[in-house]
Amino acid sequence: MRILVTGCSGFLGSEIVRQLIDRGDEVVGLSRRETPDLVRRGMQHHRGDLSDKAYVERTIRDVDAVIHTAAVAGVWGPWKHFYVNNVVATRNVLAACKSSGATQCIYTSSPSVTFAGGHQSGIDESVGYPEKWLCYYPQTKAIAEREVIAADTPGGLRTVSLRPHLIWGDDDPHLLPRLLDRARSGRLRIIGDGQNRIDTVHVTNAAAAHVSATTALSDNPDSAAGRSYFIAQDEPVLCWEWISRLCQKFDAPPPTRHISYRSAYAIGATCETVYKTLRRREEPPMTRFVAAQLAKDHYFDITAAKERLGYRPTVSMDDGLAALSRV
């Protein structure tokens, strides 16, 4: 297949590109940053901004499928920043897919599109979107996800939305460095009773789910398309035990101090109010979303991804942690 990957310079996008090239696909990458390593492997690269509709239409041509991983993540920032990069960009990608005749669009979403601040213990995709949001990232990702699913057309563009959770692995630029930095600075505290269970996913597995989706949409589109899927290790772990294992592996002090969830949530709400009032752009030291994510269960039933996409995690939690060497 000839497949275009948006966000090809990102942590997940670059791994998807590598796996597609290894499978024998012709890959076109689109990102804002240069990707010389992927170009050397055979990827054709385009550099640009997905919020530019004309540019997107010029770039998404003569491809069989688009894997849309590009997004702005985070728990803080202005609404317009998230809306333009997560919603408008996705609309441009969908419009270009339709006008170019692409037959597949695989969208990278997030389990946080269903998160309202409470426990999510073994839930599946039947759980709906919340009525209230704790930050703009999941809200804008949910708007985009809905539009991706609504765009699914039998006999035309087939779409799916994948929800990989807490992606990690070597060269992770987000999750692991952030945790370790907070641990080393003494700013990481156990929120709640420390017994909340979470799902994560190794970047190799997360990328493989996207590659599997291209096959499923080709071979069994009526079964696979028009749906969202949770993607995870299928090995839920105790959040704070897992964080302690990471700290020990990289010689960072594991967190031992506790703070109640109620207190952390209240601190987060206060910080958000102060930062909004002062119009500060940097992320507050605590937010309501972060407090809830660190204190509540969030693990998922991935039966649908296994049965409809053929997804199988190939890197186990133990093997992935043992091989982890660069963060």
Residue 182 lies in a domain: no
Tens of pLDDT, residue by residue over 201-228, are 999 999 999 999 999 999 999 999 999 9
The answer to whether residue 36 sits within a structural domain is yes
Task: Say if 194 falls within a structural domain.
Answer: no
Question: Cβ contacts of residue 297 below 8 Å, gap of 6+?
Answer: 119, 120, 121, 196, 197, 198
Question: Residue 203 carries which side chain, given as an amino acid letter?
Answer: V
**Residue 321 located in a structural domain:** no
Q: What confidence score (pLDDT) does residue 327 get?
A: 81
End-to-end CA gap in the chain: 33
At 22, give phi and psi (nearest 5°). -65, -30
Q: Is residue 281 part of a domain?
A: no
Kindly state whether residue 158 falls inside one of the protein's structural domains.
Answer: yes
Return the pLDDT at 326.
80
Residue 163 confidence (pLDDT): 98
CB crowding 3-28: b at 16 or more within 10 Å, else e = bbbbbbbbbbbbbbbbbbbeeebebb
Q: Assess if residue 93 is contained within a domain.
A: yes
Do 51 and 80 contact (CB within 8 A), yes or no?
A: no
Q: How many domains does the chain have?
A: 1
Q: Is 311 considered catalytic here?
A: no
Residue 50 placed within a domain = yes
Residue 1, classified by CB atoms within 10 Å of its CB into exposed (0-12), middle (13-18) or buried (19+), is: middle
Burial class (CB in 10 A: 0-12, 13-18, 19+), 278: exposed
Q: Which domain holds residue 138?
A: 2-165+201-232+299-314
137, 229, 265, 311: the active-site residue? 137
Is residue 62 packed enough to be buried (19+ CB in 10 Å), middle (13-18) or exposed (0-12)?
exposed
* Residue 110, domain CATH: 3.40.50.720
Instruction: Tell me which residues of the chain have a pLDDT lower than 50.
Output: none
